[in-house]
Amino acid sequence: MYNKTITELAQGLRSGEFSSVELTAAFLDRIKQHSGLNAYISVTEDLALQQAKAADARLANGDAELLTGIPIAQKDIFCTEGVKTTCGSLMLDNFIAPYNATVVEKFNHAGAVMLGKLNMDEFAMGSSNETSYYGAVKNPWNTNTVPGGSSGGTAAAVAARLAVCATGTDTGGSIRQPAALCGITGLKPTYGRVSRYGMIAYASSLDQGGPMTRSAEDAAIMLQTMAGFDDKDSTSVDTPVPDYSAGLNNRLDGLKIGLPKEFFGEGLNSEVAATLETAIDEYRKLGATVTEISMPTLKLAIPAYYVIAPAECSANLSRFDGVRFGYRCENPADLSDLYTRSRGEGFGKEVKRRILMGTYALSAGYYDAYYIKAQKIRRLISEDFKKALSEVDVIMGPVTPSTAFGIGEKIGNPIEMYLSDIYTIAINLAGVPAMSIPAGFAQGLPVGLQIIGNYFAEDRLLNIAHQYQQVTDWHQQAPAGF
């Protein structure tokens, strides 16, 4: 039952093989059994069973949708009415959101069952899920290694079959990097495709929610529910949502794939590179042509991102002041003490580092030298993507330089941690969509292949991913013991 796709589960629910209440109870049991992974921050058992009951009623009435009765979970960055929403931080440990994020609202409307809220790096800042106030998440493929971050709880839960599928968010790689390290499928949509309303902001010009699933077929179904214009989000784009499942079976003859030489040079683990070459060969067999391209500005992505993202986060996180939301220090002496201690005690080390970097980059004396410069680089990176994607249909490359690293291995060295996202960050700066799909193993751990497409070409990416998943079974493999 745990290995079934959304479509197969939907059939099981309709044929009476199992009810949503039974399915939900089975997943809740599994979550308890594997609580050692620390994938969930909150398990909403009562709510899940209540939603499952309602779903069973809808199924009986014949007005169910594909996701009705399917147990999913939300990254704990999405506000959920009446349910604790922590964003992985002590700052919001006591925060009960008064409203639902648009994404949550859409899943509720579809009748999906929410099992709970998933662990994540604090305020989505991290690449290993070790910055969470609620502790590190373990990678089910090897519990001594990290699941990636910031959507590490989501990736671990989906890989370990503790939810059928779940949401993630991606500011610089947080859907794709954990998807790669946990051997699942993750899609970061075009900026503006999925509403950010009620998704706690990290860096607003980069943040984008998306599906994390076991297959491209399931990702198409999830994205169908998540995507669409939202007048509550001023950066939501009003462009029609295509049928993401319709083109999954299109053939790939004549597909033009570009491989940026900057993606395959120094820094990429040789076993990961060899695994990716085999995956790209598979695409040749499917009828694609492969050419080497060059994107010279890719190397500027990390420095530009680590000015822009902290700058935006320093502004976004100013709202957590001990007055309006969440954590408040005890017995403040005066207002200034209230602000300083509430923020000093409520935020973790990495979040503080980002706020300090961002405030510095935005300060009057340094604004032009850092922030404006980074924005100019961002433009150059976007131009590089536009040019490349006018020559080829999609760009392929690694998601991560290596497979999952050990818990504790990089947490003391922020620069090394930041380099985990070297292949994902430029995509957010450009705003184009990209996927990570399971492409094999190196050193016994999953390797992800990244597929990057043009603005709003999510349907094409899903088609390309699905075709690969028809001729390979990497995406169907489960970690031992799960």
Nearer of residues 126 and 348 to ligand GLN, judged by Cβ:
126
Q: Identify the residue among 122, 130, 170, 233 touching ligand GLN (CB under 6 A).
A: 170
Give the C-alpha distances (Å, rounded to integers) separating 157 from 27, 97, 109, 128, 478: 11, 23, 23, 15, 12
53 classed as catalytic:
no
Triad 307, 78, 244: Cα angle to 5°: 95
Decide: is 421 part of the binding site for ligand GLN (CB under 6 A).
yes
Decide: is 174 part of the binding site for ligand GLN (CB under 6 A).
yes
390 classed as catalytic:
no
Q: Which stretch binds ligand GLN (CB under 6 A): 41-49, 170-178, 332-340, 399-407?
A: 170-178
- For the chain, the residue count is 482
Residue 353 corresponds to which tokens in the numbers above?
């580092």
Nearer of residues 82 and 267 to ligand GLN, judged by Cβ:
267
Q: How many residues sit close enough to ligand GLN to count as binding (CB under 6 A)?
A: 13
Alpha-carbon Rg of the chain, whole angstroms?
A: 21
Nearer of residues 28 and 155 to ligand GLN, judged by Cβ:
155
The number of CA neighbours under 13 Å toward the Cβ of 421 is 32
Q: Which of 19, 42, 75, 342 is catalytic?
A: 75
Q: Which of 89, 127, 150, 436 is catalytic?
A: 150
Nearer of residues 173 and 348 to ligand GLN, judged by Cβ:
173
Q: Which residue is nearest to ligand GLN (CB)?
A: 174
Spell out where 317-400 has E strands.
394-398
188 classed as catalytic:
no
**Least CB distance to ligand GLN at residue 318 (A):** 18
The Cα–Cα gap between 370 and 372 comes to: 6
The Cα–Cα gap between 235 and 352 comes to: 27
Decide: is 173 part of the binding site for ligand GLN (CB under 6 A).
yes
Q: Identify the residue among 171, 215, 225, 469 touching ligand GLN (CB under 6 A).
A: 171
Residue list 189-248, contact with ligand GLN (CB under 6 A): 202
Give the C-alpha distances (Å, rounded to integers) separating 373 from 303, 307, 379, 380, 419: 10, 9, 10, 11, 20
Nearer of residues 170 and 230 to ligand GLN, judged by Cβ:
170
Q: 374 Cβ partners below 8 Å, 6+ apart?
A: 303, 304, 305, 307, 308, 311, 361
Residue 380 CB neighbour total at 10 angstroms: 13
Residue list 67-126, contact with ligand GLN (CB under 6 A): 124-126
Interface residues toward ligand GLN, by CB under 6 A = 124-127, 150, 170-174, 202, 309, 421
The residues annotated with a catalytic role in the active site are: 75, 150, 174
